[in-house]
Amino acid sequence: MPGLTLPTVHPLPASDLKTGIGLGAEIRGADLNNLSDQQFEVIHNALYNHQVVIFKGQGALTPKAQYELTNRFDQSSTSYGHGKTLDVKRSILHPDLKTIPHQPQVQVIGNGHVPSFEGLENIKLKHPHHRTFHKDPVPIEEDLNVTRFYRWHIDAALYDLNPPFVTTLMAVSVPKGRRQLLRYDDGTGDEMEVPLGTTAFASGYKMYDILSEEQKEFVRTTKVQYAPHPYVWMSSAKALSDGLGLHSEGLELPESELPLIDESKIQILPMVWKNPVTGALALQVHPCAVQKLHLKDGTIIDDLAEVRRIVHDLQRPGISPKYVYAHDWEEGDLVLFHNRGVIHSVVGAFAEDEVRIFRQCNLAASVPPTGPDA
Ligand SMILES: [Fe+2]
């Protein structure tokens, strides 16, 4: 009988926080279109213990049920994580997302021409290619075989709206994949083999745990100030080859070219966020959107190059190949991830005739993230 059997949680083989990547579990036996409170309790605990949870065979999940699952983690939050900010044409997120008319908190992302999907007609989706964002892209002759992390990030507006607790990503249509070599191209020689069009995740808990004691003290006591309208502000800047932040070349838009700024909506957030279930600490920073650091002694670091260098040094060990989970998408996969405990990145490049359809949902949270001392 539906609702009586509880789902079971199966950690991924490499998921151990101490010895492995520190995230990932598959949940089996959940009826996501008819979720009881007891079933949700299992999913809730699994999410906050494993950060990324995977449900296979969810092809029949409706956009409404996807929204409801996402909403259940914070029932007073009902609007999409970026609110209306995607309407701003200069936002770097604008071309990547199409809104489902009958469920506006759910966005369609992917690649290729889609004649009809959930009330959207004749849409053209474009999987972001790192060439449009990285300063030094992979040479064109290697493009089929070699890829990059496009942009490591948290799903969050980082201006006015609180970062969503969770994101759900549903694979509706997945082209038959080849594999690619992902290169960091940051002088380390790091590389990893990944499935075509993978989504890469790195645990903020792992990222924190592998810091030195001195660094841990620094991140626990430092706050990050994000740029106002960050996705417009950064729209002309170019990314580092490892996708973990931006080059500092003075290309960010000046305040005079941004939409109107309300000072009260600028976000200054802890660098470390506490897990609401386990109490563990995650280093959680959106490296492209940072503008200033507020140190515990009151000093404000506002030299952008310096701010970015500090943040990159702290985050880079946590995205080493041995700590990255690269999900191998199959049609019907629903991935639910703890957006306040991981950073993630789009990876790979599709040909124009490779059609991929995903549905994404996250909701601006009703409360800000909890810092380390709360
Ligand atoms: Fe994302």
> What does the block give as tokens for 149?
């992390």
Ligand 1 midpoint to CA 178 (Å)? 22
Query: How far does residue 154's CA lie from ligand 1's centre (Å)?
Result: 6
Residue range of the domain that includes 222: 8-362
371 domain residue, yes or no: no
Contacting residues for 123 by C-beta, under 8 A, at least 6 apart: 98, 108, 113, 114, 117
Q: What is the 105 CA–ligand 1 centroid distance (Å)?
A: 14
Q: Is the pLDDT of residue 238 over 50?
A: yes
Helix (H) or strand (E) holding 193: strand 191-195
Among residues 58, 50, 6, the alpha carbon closest in space to that of 333 is found at 58
Helix then strand then coil, in percent of the chain rounded to 5, is 20, 30, 50
Q: Give 364's strand partners.
A: none
Q: What spacing in Å lies between the alpha carbon of 196 and ligand 1's midpoint?
A: 17
Q: CA torsion, points 56, 197, 226, 273, in degrees to nearest 10?
A: 40
- Predicted confidence at residue 3, as pLDDT, reads 47
Higher per-residue confidence, 95 vs 83: 83
Q: How many C-alpha atoms does 332 have within 13 Å on its Cβ side?
A: 5
Per the domain annotation, does 368 fall within a domain? no
Report yes or no on 325 lying in a domain: yes
For residue 153, the CA-to-ligand 1 centroid distance in Å is 6
CA of 264 to the centre of ligand 1 (A): 25
Tokens standing for 344? 């993630």
- The answer to whether 316 and 152 are in contact (CB under 8 A) is no
In a domain, 374, yes or no: no
For residue 251, pLDDT over 60 is answered with: yes
**Ligand 1 centroid, distance to 5 Cα (angstroms):** 32
Cα of 278 to ligand 1 centre, how many Å?
Answer: 24
Domain assignment present for 113: yes
Q: Does residue 367 lie within any of the structural domains?
A: no
**CA-angle at 80, arms to 79 and 86, nearest 5°:** 125
How many angstroms is it from 371 CA to the middle of ligand 1? Answer: 22
CA of 168 to the centre of ligand 1 (A): 10
The residue written with tokens 């995740």 in the block is: 201
Residues 6+ apart with CB under 8 A from 156: 81, 162, 163, 164, 286, 339
How does residue 67 score in pLDDT terms, banded at 50, 70 and 90? very high
Ligand 1 center from residue 78 Cα (angstroms): 18
Q: What is the distance in A from the centroid of ligand 1 to the CA of 4?
A: 34
Looking from the CA of 233 toward its CB, the CA atoms found within 13 Å total 20
Ligand 1 center to 352 CA (angstroms): 22
Closest CA to 7 of 50, 73, 49, 55: 55
pLDDT band at 351 (very low <50, low <70, confident <90, very high): confident
* Calpha distance 248→234 (Å, rounded): 11
pLDDT at 287 over 60: yes
| Ligand 1 centroid from CA 314, angstroms | 21
pLDDT at residue 146 tops 60: yes
- For the chain, the maximum distance between any two Cα atoms, rounded to a whole number of angstroms, is 61
125 pLDDT band (50/70/90 cuts)? very high
In the chain, % of residues over pLDDT 90: 86
Q: Residue 182 in contact with residue 147, Cβ under 8 Å?
A: yes
Q: What sign does the CA torsion over 100, 103, 105, 106 have?
A: negative
Is-contact 125 98, C-beta < 8 A? yes
Strand order of the β-sheet with 300-301 is 268-270, 223-226, 290-294, 300-301
Residue 239 φ/ψ, nearest 5 degrees:
-90, 160
Evaluate the CA torsion angle 347, 353, 354, 356 in order and state its sign: positive
Contacts of 279 (CB under 8 A, 6+ apart): none
- The CATH number assigned to the domain holding 16 equals 3.60.130.10
Query: How many CA atoms within 13 Å lie on the side-chain side of 329?
Result: 28
The residue-averaged pLDDT of 341-365 equals 93
In the predicted model, is pLDDT for residue 180 greater than 50? yes
3-state secondary structure of 337: strand
Q: Is the pTM of this model over 0.75?
A: yes
Residues in CB range of 149: below 8 A, 6 or more apart: 130, 182, 184, 200, 242, 243, 244, 319, 345, 346, 347
**Centre of ligand 1 from the C-alpha of residue 197, in Å:** 13
**In this predicted model, which residue has the larger pLDDT, 20 or 247?**
247
Spacing, Cα 37 to ligand 1 middle (Å): 28
Q: What is the mean pLDDT of residues 117-129?
A: 92
Amino acid 87: pLDDT? 57
Cα 3 to middle of ligand 1, angstroms: 31
Number of domains in the chain: 1
